[in-house]
């Protein structure tokens, strides 16, 4: 049975649009005004990838300040985020099916702690990763590789919500199941290489016996 590597932002916790707004405010605070839809298209990347992708000529000092400001602005919003319906139950299903379950996140520890509290899943999970476990964020494969190492498994499936999850997992040699909860269309996720796409966690739970998951 494959291990299950679970993305958090936009997959288990409804955060993607909060992140987009935090980045918008951080850029605007420094005199850079970007349309929120463009920022959303890069959510799933960490700041090391997102900032230069949106502002290619940004200098290193300003880049650092924007990332620091984003943390402040997201801190103002994080109290509003919620776990998606049946996220806790999904983790319980996977564990009951015999899977090793690892949260694959590059979030700072304080943000991840908040998410784990919302999921009420600390005792269910086998392990999790944070920003400290990666050098480069998605679409680079670092977070997937780190989670796979903590799973101590030769086989795993990634669960995510963006093309960046799919690309990172592909570079680590893994298939990805995607949800529409991150704000990307089904066709976009299929075109990125997702092995399967479900509308929501409840729909995914109804299909855990199907490949490439094969949990039952």
According to the model, what pLDDT value does residue 211 have? 65
Q: What is the separation of C-alpha 17 from the centre of its chain, rounded to a whole number of angstroms?
A: 13
- CA 20 to chain CA centroid, Å, is 14
Give the separation between CA 69 and CA 76, rounded to whole angstroms.
11
pLDDT in tens, 155-214: 999 999 999 999 999 999 999 999 999 999 999 999 999 999 999 999 999 999 876 666
Whether residue 102 contacts residue 3, with contact meaning beta carbons closer than 8 Å, is answered with: yes
Peptide bond between residue 101 and the one before it cis (omega within 30 degrees of 0): no
Residue 170, by phi and psi: left (phi above 0), alpha (psi -120 to 50) or beta? alpha
What residues in the chain have per-residue pLDDT under 70? 211-216
* pLDDT score, position 42: 98
pLDDT on residue 215: 56
Closest listed residue to residue 109, CA positions, set 132, 77, 82, 92: 132
Q: How far is CA 143 from the centre of its chain?
A: 10
**How high is the pLDDT of residue 1?**
76
- Write down the H helix ranges in 16-141: 16-29, 36-40, 47-54, 60-75, 87-96, 109-119
Domains of the chain plus CATH, in order, are 3-14+81-205 (3.40.50.1000), 16-79 (1.10.150.240)
DSSP 133-155: G-SS-TTSSHHHHHHHHHHT-S-
**Tokens for 108?**
């700072």
3-state class (DSSP) for residue 45: strand
Q: What is the pLDDT at residue 214?
A: 64
Q: What is the pTM of this model?
A: 0.95
């Amino acid at each position: 049975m494959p291990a299950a590597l679970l993305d958090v932002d936009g997959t288990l916790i409804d955060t993607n649009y909060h992140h987009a707004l935090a980045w918008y405010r951080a850029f605007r605070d420094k005199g850079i005004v970007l349309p929120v839809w463009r920022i959303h298209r890069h959510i799933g990347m960490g700041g090391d990838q997102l900032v230069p992708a949106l502002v290619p000529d940004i200098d290193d000092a300003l880049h650092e300040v924007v990332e620091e400001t984003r943390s402040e602005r997201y801190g103002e919003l994080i109290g509003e985020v919620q776990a998606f319906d049946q996220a806790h139950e999904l983790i319980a299903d996977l564990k009951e099916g015999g899977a090793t379950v690892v949260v694959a996140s590059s979030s700072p520890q304080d943000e991840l702690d908040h998410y784990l509290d919302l999921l009420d899943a600390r005792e269910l999970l086998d392990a999790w990763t944070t920003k400290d476990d990666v050098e480069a964020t998605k679409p680079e494969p670092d977070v997937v590789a780190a989670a796979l190492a903590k799973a101590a498994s030769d086989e795993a499936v990634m669960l995510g919500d963006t093309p960046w999850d799919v690309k990172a997992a592909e570079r680590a040699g893994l298939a990805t199941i995607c949800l529409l909860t991150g704000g990307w269309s089904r066709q976009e996720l299929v075109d990125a290489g997702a092995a399967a796409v479900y509308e929501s966690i409840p729909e995914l739970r109804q299909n855990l016996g199907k490949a490439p998951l094969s949990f039952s």
